[in-house]
């Protein structure tokens, strides 16, 4: 296996991946953040061994890698989703049956045999493919792929922050028909005990379980907050300005009142065709944005949804204002 051949193969894979994913437009500025990670590793690459054994938490702790196990249940799924969209989606598809890109499709991989999908894995990971993906080995892999499997085709620096890793894994586990169980109480106890400085930074309360109807929330909607969320979570795929070009998704100027999934020149997925044509209302938009993949299973909009009703009202109020003819919201 010559290094040179591998480089050009990777180059081809990247080109093909970007084309298939339709990410050309979006890729240009995102690739930079992949190739140049946001933070330099604080510690030199650690060689982690023995992770597939039952002693994994101990081995991980001994190598100085903080366990994510105590942080998964309270991990911020929305943050994890946003991070994955930004840093992983250029190489990985996330929807059921999604095509491989530069890397394998990631739907439902947790709990299944490691590096064993229908993908041409590098030799580097072949002898690491022992056992199933669990919270320990995914933690080690995502912290430092190139230390976990030197020579891996996943040229990604790794996620150094343990809370970010926990958020990402909390999101990744939801990408499955039946998500793997959250860590059990005794696993959490063991992992917490193994880590000297336990840091459950989990003060942020998860979204309320019972949410009021969105109609009652427009009165208190905060357009500036809605805009900020859109810039952070949607603008990577959608332009907002009048006449803006389509990106991964269609332009969103004047979307409320516009015919759903009907922007000229954009090729929508088959998944949304049956929902196309009716004018978007605050209610249909709310349903779509709460859970795109539930609203139109198989949609290309790889976005988990805005679960918090007030945040959704904020976003809809902003989208409504971003129009020549804003409508009167309830
Ligand atoms: C530059 C492209 C690239 C980026 C960015 C990237 N990956 Fe990967 N990923 C790969 C490749 C290629 C493989 C296959 C590894 C091999 O064959 O060596 C892989 C493998 C994986 C696997 C193993 C899947 C299996 O089939 O067992 C997981 C899990 C994974 N990546 C998650 C992530 C996550 C999460 C992120 C973002 C934090 C990410 N990757 C970022 C290219 C990438
Ligand atoms: C990863 C890229 C991506 C992200 C992130 C994303 N979208 Fe989308 N969006 C798409 C794609 C692709 C479609 C087209 C859906 C299809 O064809 O299945 C779409 C469709 C839509 C539509 C329907 C447009 C029409 O023409 O009727 C709306 C509205 C929308 N997105 C709003 C949002 C909002 C608001 C956010 C952030 C909260 C968001 N999207 C985040 C990719 C994305």
For the stretch 205-230, pLDDT in tens is 343 334 457 888 998 999 999 999 99
- Write the CA distances from 102 to 92, 124, 156, 297, integer angstroms: 7, 16, 12, 24
Looking at the DSSP assignment, which residues form a beta bridge with residue 134? none
Residues in the chain: 330
The pLDDT of residue 14 is above 90:
no
The pLDDT of residue 204 is above 60:
no
Q: Integer distance in angstroms from the first to the last C-alpha of the chain? A: 64
Tell me, using a 6 A CB cutoff, whether residue 18 lines ligand 1: no
Mean pLDDT of 68-88: 94
- For 214-321, CATH gives 1.10.760.10
In the prediction, which pLDDT does 149 show? 92
In the prediction, which pLDDT does 195 show? 66
Domains of the chain by residue range: 3-194, 214-321
Judge whether 3-194 and 214-321 match in fold.
Answer: yes
Given a contact cutoff of 8 angstroms between Cβ atoms, the answer to whether 167 and 146 are in contact is no
**Which pLDDT band, with edges at 50, 70 and 90, does 330 fall under?**
confident
SS3 percent helix, strand, coil of the chain, rounded to 5, is 40, 0, 60
- Write the CA distances from 18 to 36, 82, 154, 158, integer angstroms: 18, 19, 15, 21
Residues 6+ apart with CB under 8 A from 118: 100, 104
Given a contact cutoff of 8 angstroms between Cβ atoms, the answer to whether 95 and 107 are in contact is yes
- For 3-194, CATH gives 1.10.760.10
Residues with CB under 6 A from ligand 2: 85, 230, 233-234, 236-238, 248-250, 252, 255, 260-261, 263, 268-269, 271-272, 289, 299-303, 306, 315
Q: 50 C-alpha vs ligand 1 centroid, how far in Å? A: 20
Q: 163 C-alpha vs ligand 1 centroid, how far in Å? A: 19
Whole-number Å distance between alpha carbons of 258 and 166: 39
Q: What digits encode the pLDDT tens for the residues 167-203?
A: 999 999 999 999 999 999 988 988 888 765 434 333 3
Instruction: List the residue whose alpha carbon is closest to atom 34 of ligand 2.
Output: 234
Determine which helix (DSSP H) or strand (DSSP E) holds 316, and give its type and residue range: helix 309-321
């Amino acid at each position: 296996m010559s290094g040179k051949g591998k480089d050009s193969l990777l180059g081809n894979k990247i080109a093909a991946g970007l084309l298939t994913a339709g990410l050309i437009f979006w890729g240009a500025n995102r690739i930079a953040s992949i190739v140049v990670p946001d933070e330099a590793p604080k510690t030199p690459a650690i060689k982690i061994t023995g992770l597939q054994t039952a002693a994994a938490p101990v081995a991980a702790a001994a190598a100085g890698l903080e366990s994510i196990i105590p942080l998964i249940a309270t991990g911020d799924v929305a943050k994890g989703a946003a991070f994955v969209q930004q840093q992983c989606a250029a190489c990985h598809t996330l929807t059921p049956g999604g095509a491989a890109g530069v890397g394998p499709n990631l739907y439902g991989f947790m709990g299944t045999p490691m590096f064993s999908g229908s993908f041409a894995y590098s030799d580097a990971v072949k002898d690491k493919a022992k056992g199933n993906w669990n919270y320990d080995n995914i933690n080690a892999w995502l912290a430092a792929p190139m230390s976990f499997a030197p020579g891996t085709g996943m040229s990604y620096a790794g996620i150094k922050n343990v809370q970010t890793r926990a958020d990402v894994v909390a999101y990744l586990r939801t990408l499955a028909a039946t998500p793997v169980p959250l860590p059990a109480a005794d696993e959490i106890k063991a992992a917490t005990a193994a880590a000297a400085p336990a840091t459950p930074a989990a003060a942020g309360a998860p979204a309320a379980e019972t949410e009021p109807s969105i109609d009652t929330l427009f009165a208190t909607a905060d357009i500036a907050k809605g805009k900020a969320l859109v810039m952070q979570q949607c603008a990577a795929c959608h332009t907002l300005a009048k006449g803006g070009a389509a990106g991964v998704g269609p332009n969103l100027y004047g979307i409320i009142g516009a015919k759903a999934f009907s922007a000229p020149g954009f090729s929508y997925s088959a998944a949304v065709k049956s929902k196309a044509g009716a004018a978007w209302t605050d209610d249909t938009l709310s349903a779509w944005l709460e859970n795109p993949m539930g609203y139109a299973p198989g949609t290309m909009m790889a976005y988990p949804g805005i679960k918090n009703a007030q945040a959704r009202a904020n976003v809809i109020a902003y989208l409504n204002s971003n129009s020549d003819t804003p409508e009167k919201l309830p």
